[in-house]
Amino acid sequence: MVKRGTITLIAILSLVCLPAILPAMHIIGGEITYECLGDAPNNQRQYRFTMKIYRDCQGNGAAFDNPAEMAIYQGSLSNNNLFITFTVNTMGIKPLEADTPACVDKFPSNVCVEQATYVFTRTLPILQTGSYFIVYQRCCRNTSITNILTPGDVGATYMVELTAAAQQQCNNSPVFNNFPPIVICKDFNIDFDHSATDLEGDQLVYSFCAPFTGGGPLLNNPALSSCEGAKPSPPCAPPFDNVTFIPPLTPGNPMGGAPQITINSTTGLITGKPNMLGQFVVGVCVQEFRNGVLLSTVKRDFQFNVADCEPTVLASITTDSSKIVGPNQYVIKSCGRNTIFFNNESVDQAKIDSFEWRFVFSPDSTFSDKNNWDANVTFPGVGSYTGLLMLNPKSECGDTAYINIEIYPEVTADFAYDYDTCVAGPVVFTDQSYGDGVVNYWDWHFGPPGARSNDQNPVYQYADPGNQPVRLRVVDQNLCSDDTTQFINWFPVPPLIIIQPSSYLGCSPADIFFNNLSTPIDETYHIVWDFGDGKTIEDIISPTHTYTEPGIYNVSVSITSPIGCFTSDDFPNLIKIEPSPIANFECDPDTDLSNFNNTVQFTDLSTGAVHWNWQLGNYKTTIEQNPVYAFPDTGLVKVRLIVTHPAGCKDSMIKYLDIRPIVLWNMPNAFTPNGDGLNDGFLGKGYLEGATNFRMTIWNRWGELVYETSNPNDEWNGRAQNTGGMSPAGVYVYLVSFTGPRGEPFEFKGFATLLR
């Protein structure tokens, strides 16, 4: 007998394989995991790797590789080197069989899937950065696969990455607990636990992911060493290409479904309902995190075979008050109604040859119906009864639903309430529920979210006005229940009008926000504001008003509720408005400033100010009223004064000061280059801060250039270009030129007398 929750399987799809065995069109899945065995000499660790490969053994597919050729690469996914190659023999091959459930037609008898297990150990130096990549590749997949392009030409790569973080912690990778079902049913729900176990208890995150390709259909020997060969030798290095899914299918949606086939990221549970026939390649990745750090990713890919299934016979019923308490166990409770209608929702009706409804009213009275698919049964009265729905009685494919019926007296919810309509006081509720059963539970919902009580006669104070829906649900000793809802028009006026201006003192024009803290009120209340300056406004709970003239103003507020309740209040001398401040100042001096005259006295001339904020260019800020400041550099300086009134309003003024850069230069008229250390060189003196393009030339009386320099600190020693023979005594002509800090040209001409 098949019960609810049993996964039924299907008729196998015909698996298409090429006649030749070398292409090995048989691969349907695999994965590689690892276990850290501990430390080894020379800063190494030993690991045991387990590789499982799955093949379709139906038809002429090639056998498992024995030995299988492996490779280990070191580095990153995009930049790595071959570390070692080796071969490993299989530890054993075993068949994986599908369970045959009862009452399923056309279940495949020729399903054939085998698993080969390869186990090998390796001692690897511990990396500080990068990873090891353990790789196996083999072609090819079944040509009949539905969801990827050219499946017969696409092989598989099975790889696990041993990261530096995992090595340093001697980590063990997660290991999948179960292999997916070989055959699943179209239009039947999948509920498969694809979880993994991690020895260290790390966080595991599951997802569908793209399987890798690996190897190709080329069979001739010269190609066997390439990545296009059926069995690359050695297996090729990462990165690897993903298989290409046929749109709209993707790695995250590998087989569609309604609802779509998905995997729970936390539990690894695969659920959904496949709605397409075929063979589907599916990849599942489990990522292992420790303290937020990714230690490893184990990828398994496998093949789901989906075909039509014949449903299992299953007894199922519903009523308006049925409850499933166990496999095929139903409890029906009725309060105040003796006639119950039972819906027969058993599957599959086409395979149900006979059925019987049977209910026991008393030891001497039984109700039976073998003709009506649904049953409408009138029970004698209040009491406990049992019943059955039997499908295909005494048949291997039969099923039975067991029914317990409890009929109780009816209970009716009712209540009354009382309150003062215009005073914001509480509402008193009185329970008036009745019935033959004793009411022992009251559930009041007063309208606002979370406003509840379990008292029989509660008192509730509303915070907000409104047409409040009050619901009472009662339950009696038999767990029979009823509910009723009434609406309360709760629109009192506030007992006290409370307003809070954003400021009591302001400068004209002043925008004052009046925060109305009175309660209860809402947008349905008629509110009239009088701001004392001849202006009023209506039906705004908390308005903003602009006072344009200085003065002291009274404010009054009146409130009328939607049901006519009225209250008002006056607030004398509430708002004071003063004239706005005016910023003003003078500078001494305000002209003829330079790098030699850079100290300025600032004098405040503002009115209505109690606070000053000076911004002296980018150099300084100060809150002195009359600061004095020496500017450290030349240029155009923006001076801004911000003044603040006692009410907090502000005004500002800006002036600009020009601090000019001044340069100075003087030349001597004679020098004595006789080596006595006194006046031996011809050199000018001055202040050239900011000057550029300096050039000094000296000419003899025949118009010949005897000296030239671009450095104002260089002197002429009387020799030609300071290196030749000594020039004769006499008069020479000098020319000095340079560009001032603001681009102005300067030129000095004169005579230099060389004395002996």
Q: What is the pLDDT of residues 414-453, one digit of tens each?
A: 999 999 999 999 999 999 999 888 999 999 999 999 999 9
Residues 175 and 98 in one domain: yes
Q: How far is CA 401 from the centre of its chain?
A: 47
Mean pLDDT of the chain, nearest integer = 89
pLDDT > 90: percent of the chain: 71
Here the contacts of 707-713 (C-beta below 8 Å, separation 24 or greater) are: 712/684, 712/686, 712/688, 712/738, 713/683
Residues 683 and 749 in one domain: yes
pLDDT for 11: 32
SS3 222: helix
Residues 123 and 214 in one domain: yes
CB 74 within 8 A of CB 132: yes
pLDDT for 17: 31
- The tokens describing 285, both together, are 């990745």
Number of domains in the chain: 6
Give me the helices (H) in 250-358, please.
none
CB 120 within 8 A of CB 70: yes
Strand partners, 262: 271
Give me the helices (H) in 172-260, please.
none
pLDDT for 183: 83
pLDDT > 70: percent of the chain: 92
- CATH no. for residue 465? 2.60.40.10
Residues 326 and 289 in one domain: no
Q: Do β-strands 339-344 and 317-318 pair in parallel, antiparallel, or remain unpaired?
A: antiparallel
Strand partners, 689: none
Residue 43, pLDDT > 80, answer yes
Residues 543 and 650 in one domain: no
Q: What does the buried/exposed string (b/e) look like for 380-389 if buried means 16 or more CB atoms within 10 Å of the residue's CB?
A: eebeebebbb
3-state SS string for 152-196: HHCCEEEEEEEEHHHHHCCCCCCEECCCCCCEEECCCCEEEECCE
Q: Is residue 2 a part of any domain in this protein?
A: no
Nearest Cα residue to 542 out of 568, 523, 562 = 523
SS3 151: helix
pLDDT band for position 105 (50/70/90)?
Answer: low
Q: Is residue 298 a part of any domain in this protein?
A: yes
Q: What is the pLDDT of residues 441-497, one digit of tens each?
A: 999 999 999 999 999 999 999 989 999 999 999 999 988 899 999 999 999 999 999
Q: Do β-strands 183-185 and 322-326 pair in parallel, antiparallel, or remain unpaired?
A: unpaired
pLDDT for 104: 58
Q: Is residue 466 a part of any domain in this protein?
A: yes
Q: What residue has token string 């639903």?
A: 401
Residue 220, pLDDT > 80, answer no
Residue 75, pLDDT > 70, answer yes
Residues 630 and 574 in one domain: no
Distance CA 552, CA 86 (A): 97
Residue 637, pLDDT > 50, answer yes
End position of a domain, from candidates 429, 456, 490: 490
- The tokens describing 727, both together, are 């020039």
Average pLDDT over residues 60-87: 92
Distance CA 722, CA 604 (A): 60
Give residue 274's domain range: 27-307
Q: What is the pLDDT of residues 518-559, one digit of tens each?
A: 999 999 999 999 999 999 999 999 999 999 999 999 999 999
Residue 664, pLDDT > 70, answer yes
Distance CA 510, CA 543 (A): 14
Nearest Cα residue to 188 out of 276, 263, 280 = 276
Residue 235, preceding peptide bond in cis (omega within 30° of 0): no
State the burial class of residue 749 (Cβ atoms within 10 Å of its Cβ: 0-12, 13-18, 19+).
exposed
End position of a domain, from candidates 437, 456, 490: 490
End position of a domain, from candidates 389, 408, 427: 408
Q: How far is CA 2 from the centre of its chain?
A: 44
